Amino acid sequence: MLSDGMLGNKAILLALSSLTTGNLNSKIQKTTRPFTMKDVLPSTHEYIVPPLTKEQQQDQASKQLMAFLATRPGSEAYLKE
């Protein structure tokens, strides 16, 4: 549970997470998965970025699947928007 003091500090948390992830991502190899806010500040991630609704989760999964399928050579002929 978040304390009352943390609830008013959304701007500070956003600035801290962007500075931290930017600093960490500048030091990793290009082939490594980049750090995200969820990796750096997991306890405050749900407060700042609310969870997706069921429809948004399905839409995001569909878009990710289409992006994965589009990476296959010659897949343009089979994919429809």
Contact between 61 and 53 under an 8 Å Cβ cutoff? The reply is: no
* Res 7 pLDDT > 60: no
The domain segmentation of the chain, as residue ranges, is 1-50, 52-81
Q: Is the pTM of this model over 0.85?
A: no
Tell me how far apart the alpha carbons of residues 80 and 69 are, in angstroms, rounded to a whole number: 11
**Residue 19 confidence (pLDDT) above 70:** yes
DSSP string, 20-77: HHHHHHHHS-TTSPPP-HHHH-HHHHHHHSPPPPHHHHHHHHHHHHHHHHHTSTTGGG
Asked if pLDDT for residue 74 goes beyond 70, the answer is yes
- The predicted-structure confidence for 27-69, as pLDDT tens digits, reads as follows 988 888 898 888 888 877 777 777 889 999 999 999 998 888 8
* 70 or 81, higher pLDDT: 70
